Structure 1
Amino acid sequence: MDRQILQAMREHAQRDYPREACGLVVVVDGRGKYVPCRNAAEGSEHFILPAEDYAAAEDMGEIVAVVHSHPDVPAQPSEADLVSCEASGLPWHILSWPADDLRTIVPSGYEAPLVGRQFSHGVLDCYTLIRDWYRRERCIDLPDFARRDDWWKSGEDLYMRHYAEAGFVAVSQDQPEQAGDVILMQLRAKVANHAGIYLGDGHMLHHLHDRLSSRDVYGGYWQEITRCVLRYKGL
């Protein structure tokens, strides 16, 4: 790691502490340069690097690495870090602060397990689980959709707005029948803000906020809060 880049990373981590700092390493005129970016996340436990900041860095030169800090926790990559590193196709430098410990990870084919994965909104959440299940079990790539933190609290009805675009049709109000049916649920919100995949035999796979993804019995409370059941066209 170039000493000037590392020092710039440290200074950025200190400025943004206790929030996560994020940035990019860019090669400009044959030299590496650290480009600090904004963290658009509303909370302090993760980061969202705005697309416009990424585009601005691309205009400067070639992006060769993603950087972010871990305030008050070790530089050990989270499951969300490993998944996001794979998606970016770039090395990731993680700097714990103020411990000042650096760890680098690179894409290596990592895939989060379907059961027992950690929650990270937008990276490992209930819709990500649906996308991963369909890709692994049905060889179907579902589109991703931008979603800000706590979108349901502002009344954004994202699931109902986008399910047809993702290739699904509504088949029932509350009764999944075949494996792969997607169950939309309204969990203490004004809109459908949670989803699970029916696995058959009365069980579903889902990922609740701030919990590990799990395989649970579908019925009772889950059926009470079901808004509708979707099925992928052609299945």
Structure 2
Amino acid sequence: MKQTTLDAIRDHAIRVYPRECCGLVVIVLGRERYIECRNTASGTDSFILPADEYAAAEESGAITAIVHSHPDASGEPSEADRVACEASGLPWHIAEVRCNDSGERVVTRMTMIEPSGYAAPLVGRSFAHGVLDCYTLVRDWYRIERGVTLPNFQRTGNWWNAGEDLYVENYARAGFRALREGEEIAPGDVILMQVRAPVVNHAAVYLGDGLMLHHLYGRLSSRDVYGGYWLEHTRVVLRFEP
């Protein structure tokens, strides 16, 4: 990248610290520009780049890279960064921002990753809402094990506490139906659960032999026994029948 672009990224990352910055590198009329975007994520350790701002940048020129910062954290890409980079099909630049001993905010490092075919493992992946979460795990299992591409629905942070019933409203559109009375659960069925929320907010894939694969908020994805707490909080079991 040109020095002016790097300077603009550093300025943005320092200015919005301790929140993550996000933006786009765009070629406009043959010149490289850094376009600042709003970070609409609720926390300080993630970013959501608004779709309308991405679309506006596309209209102005050719997007060549996605940029964000890691405040008070390593500039190395997280697992979620690597997954999202693959999905975007673009290089990602990460600015490491820290406060030095004098209290001055500085960008201590810039790193770059490119799409390389990376895929997060089904078990042991970290949690990042909208990128690596329980529905992402369901989608990835179906793609890997069944060769099926499920739709990816838009979901904002804490949608379940806002009363958005996303799983119930969308499962039929994704090709699922609820098990009928008397039908036994089978491998590949999707278990919808209601966990400390006013609506269904958690999904798991039934693997057979009493085991399920799921990704609980804030934890690593795992295989667990389907019973006890999880069975008690099950609201519906789905079968894929497109």
TM-score (norm 2): 0.94
- Percent identical across equivalent pairs? 62
Equivalent position to 2:177, from 164, 169, 177: 169
Q: Trace 1:193-232 onto structure 2 (pairs within 5 A).
A: 193-232=201-240
Q: Trace 1:121-160 onto structure 2 (pairs within 5 A).
A: 121-160=129-168
| Segment of structure 1 superposing worse, 96-105 or 134-143 | 96-105
Q: Which residue of 1 aligns with 2:3?
A: 3
- The verdict on how the C-alpha distance between 1:5 and 1:52 changes in structure 2, with shifts beyond 3 A counting, is same
Q: Distance in 2 between matches of 1:9 and 1:100?
A: 13
Letter in 1 for 2:8: A
Give CA deviations for 1:174-199 in whole Å, capped at 9, x if unaligned: 98621100000000111100010000
1:178 equivalent to 2:186? Answer yes
Q: Distance in 2 between matches of 1:194 and 1:176?
A: 21
| Segment of structure 1 superposing worse, 105-114 or 95-104 | 95-104
Consecutive unaligned residues in structure 1, runs of 5 or more: none
Q: Trace 1:34-183 onto structure 2 (pairs within 5 A).
A: 34-98=34-98, 99-171=107-179, 177-183=185-191
Q: Distance in 2 between matches of 1:127 and 1:172?
A: 23
| Segment of structure 1 superposing worse, 165-174 or 51-60 | 165-174
C-alpha contact (below 8 Å) 1:184/1:192 kept by paired residues: yes
Q: Distance in 1 between matches of 2:186 and 2:56?
A: 46
Q: What secondary structure sits across from 1:112 in the alignment? A: coil
Q: What secondary structure sits across from 2:161 in the alignment? A: helix
| Segment of structure 1 superposing worse, 139-148 or 96-105 | 96-105
Q: Distance in 2 between matches of 1:4 and 1:174?
A: 66
Letter in 2 for 1:10: R
Q: What secondary structure sits across from 2:169 in the alignment? A: helix
C-alpha contact (below 8 Å) 2:185/2:237 kept by paired residues: no
C-alpha contact (below 8 Å) 1:174/1:223 kept by paired residues: no
Q: What secondary structure sits across from 1:100 in the alignment? A: strand
C-alpha contact (below 8 Å) 1:27/1:33 kept by paired residues: yes
- The CA deviation at 1:231 is 0.3
Letter in 2 for 1:169: R
Give CA deviations for 1:81-110 in whole Å, capped at 9, x if unaligned: 000000000000001113420000000000
TM-score (norm 1): 0.97
4+ residue runs of structure 1 moved beyond 2 angstroms? 172-176
Q: Which residue of 1 aligns with 2:102?
A: none
C-alpha contact (below 8 Å) 2:193/2:233 kept by paired residues: yes
RMSD across aligned C-alpha pairs, in angstroms?
Answer: 1.4
Q: Distance in 2 between matches of 1:174 and 1:187?
A: 25
Q: What secondary structure sits across from 2:119 in the alignment? A: coil
